[in-house]
Structure 1
């Protein structure tokens, strides 16, 4: 369900690297050429281009891009060119632990929407790049209920199969309902179930919860809509069960804010373009009665707009 449009005949990495070099030299940068190449290459192709560029020109492609580009366009191109998805996720996770850019939602997104193996690769990339574990940085930079939820969330290695224990699902649905009725939202059992159960098992539990107690769990977790921990807990459950609905909402909020939240818009488009952007677009149109490409065009401009549209499968580049 990706949206990335890769040409049937892809030029060799050396041809792409040469064209990118041409885009950087001379009077002014050729942004259209950069978009036409990078926005139409998948992760493994981009990795080969970066390696070829470095060996041919003796400079990291990211360094060249950093010299030539600026503002929101620079951020989206740099994130997109940042090598394998695990490298990009490691960078985003590290950024999310910094004081000035700390963002619990980004950490939760990465931990909840990547497969167990992909999350493991993120943690390997994080350790190789920052010489610390993701778990220790998350633990150090969070506190209270946020730490109680996020540390096990980034530490887990969930079972990925479809096997479900229905007896367990029924008993854990009852347990969740009891704890939520007591407003014990940070209870160890609540956190254990949400952070360790497979997505299939969790779905079965939440279906039981809905059927047995007459409400979706996220409705019962809205007792205090402004509580930041409860917002994060509801978002975690949504990410684990319906990630496309979660990302549609992030895009909607980013575009509908007074002044676009380019940081969120860039992150979602870049991280989901090769995953489930088609589903997110369908959800966006259904929820907002406007196609996502039109919403982006109405809210952004220039090379940044062109890159966004190319990554979601629209535009001329």
Structure 2
């Protein structure tokens, strides 16, 4: 595992990150060298092809990358092996999920116990089984359940269960990209959201192009509509153009940084006002809509070398309107430090629970539980001085709380 951790990378990371992030990375480094079990295949890059869709060509687009504190950074080291598994898309060798494959998985036993639990609305049994199974195993359970009892598991959720709990269990039973496609749909159709660009960027921008493509295909399959057209109807301005680039596959999948182009883009960003960045400028749309994630990470990492401030600070202190600051902030942080981005998103989501909005909390916990939720938890504790478990326990209740606590790894 140490072949992925270059001394020059660690030095650069330490110089450009907060002390909390550096501590987190150090703890990951120690963990990677002290436990041989953590080099197992469960930590390798994985590819998802639910329902036998041709969503992803797993080996064609993955090259030599690793992540520094959530950043995607190209290396000359060999990549982790690739394997196929229907629950997760891509994760690097330092990513740690909270939900692992159940080694004692017995589908017949699970469906019989679930059948009894649904009849008696026994949320404890439902939680114990579904929170301890990967999405791939849940799909096996759902199929076997329907074959044996001639009813869909989603239909069984109409028993006497609380609404938040029912929604969370339903989310666990969805295939991952359908789950995210439904959250995209909810965002687009929500009358409570005056502006939908920032919430959509929160969902889509941190993801690999192949992941976004899978969501687009799932959206079309579920709703018989093109996501590009829906975005075009609901959103305007520069962020509409960037989102359309993402959902139409315009973001590059190259893993190697184009250094000359990066330098040109850096010069452009440094020499333009923040106000111009929020206009529908072709170069802004190209940089943020077409550049690969490693390319963007390199741009953001190198922005402060001449200007003396990071791109995040430049945006935050600019004269941009508040919504543009928020949108650009999402794009920059979700690439520059994905782990920290999701930790911040969870913190905001928990604060929103009091207003009756727990969709973001549910989406992140479920969608990241098999990928990197352990890493996110570590960063969360470093940033907010309390564990994610503490926050979830204090701000949720009942069966919903118990399910979330199981998923976050209590």
Q: TM-score, normalised by structure 2?
A: 0.71
* Higher alpha-carbon deviation: 299-308 or 115-124: 115-124
d(CA) in 2 for partners of 1:65 and 1:302? 16
Equivalent residue in structure 2 for 1:130, among 223, 247, 256: 223
Deviates more, 1:87-96 or 1:247-256: 247-256
Once residues 286 and 255 of structure 1 are traced to their aligned partners in structure 2, the CA distance between those partners, rounded to angstroms, is: 17
State the SS of the aligned residue for 1:179: coil
Match of 1:213 among 307, 323, 327: 307
Contact map agreement 1:113 1:240 (CA 8 A) in 2: yes
Structure 1 contact 87–126 (Cα < 8 Å) conserved? yes
CA deviations 1:121-166 (Å, max 9, x no partner) are 1111111111111111111122234423322232235344431121
Determine if contact 2:100/2:132 at 8 Å carries over to the other structure.
yes
Instruction: Report what 2:171 is aligned to.
Output: 79
For residues 20 and 270 of structure 1, do their structure 2 counterparts lie closer, same or farther at Cα, with a shift above 3 Å needed?
same
In structure 1, the residue matched to 2:244 is: 151
- The runs of 5 or more residues in structure 1 that have no matched partner are none
- Structure 2: give runs of 5+ residues left out of the alignment: 1-95
The answer (yes or no) to whether the contact 1:135–1:155 under 8 Å persists in 2 is: yes
Is the CA contact (8 Å cut-off) linking 2:177 and 2:218 kept in structure 1?
yes
Offset at residue 5 of structure 1 (A): 4.1
Q: CA deviation at 1:62?
A: 0.9
Whole-Å separation in 2 of the counterparts to 1:298 and 1:250? 17
2:183 is matched with 92
Q: Give the CA deviation at 1:226.
A: 5.7
**1:285 aligned onto 2:381:** yes
Alpha-carbon shift at residue 212 of structure 1 (Å): 2.1
Show CA shifts across 1:33-77 (max 9, x none): 000111011111111111112222222111211344232111111
Say which is worse superposed, 195-204 or 149-158, in terms of deviation.
149-158
- Structure 1 Cα separation of the partners of residues 396 and 203 of structure 2: 26
Cα distance between partner residues in 1 of 2:400 and 2:254: 39
CA–CA separation in structure 2 for the residues paired with 1:92 and 1:182: 31
Residue 23 to residue 234, structure 1, CA distance change in 2 (3 Å): same
Structure 1 partner of 2:16 = none
- Tell whether 2:112 aligns with 1:3: no
Query: Could you tell me which of 267, 271, 282 is aligned with 1:178?
Result: 271
Q: How does 1:202-281 map to 2 (within 5 A)?
A: 202-222=296-316, 223-224=318-319, 227-257=322-352, 259=354, 261-281=357-377
CA positional deviation for 1:10 = 1.0
The Cα shift of 1:78 comes to 1.0
The SS at the match of 2:157 is: helix
Question: RMSD of aligned C-alpha atoms?
Answer: 2.0
Q: 1:113 aligns with which of 206, 210, 224?
A: 206
Q: Distance in 1 between matches of 2:353 and 2:319?
A: 24
Secondary structure of 1:8's partner? Answer: coil
Query: Which of 222, 233, 258 does residue 140 from structure 1 map onto?
Result: 233
**What's the TM-score, normalizing by structure 1?**
0.91
Residue aligned with 2:289, SS: helix
Asked if the contact 1:296–1:305 (Cα under 8 Å) also holds between the matched residues in 2, the reply is yes
- Number of residue pairs matched by the alignment: 310
Question: Are the structure 2 counterparts of residues 41 and 169 from structure 1 closer, same or farther at C-alpha, using a change threshold of 3 Å?
Answer: same
Structure 2 match to 1:301 = 397
CA–CA distance in 2 between the matches of 1:86 and 1:123? Answer: 9
* SS of residue in 1 equivalent to 2:389: helix
**Does structure 2 retain, via aligned residues, the 8 Å contact 1:194–1:202?**
yes
- C-alpha contact (below 8 Å) 1:92/1:106 kept by paired residues: no
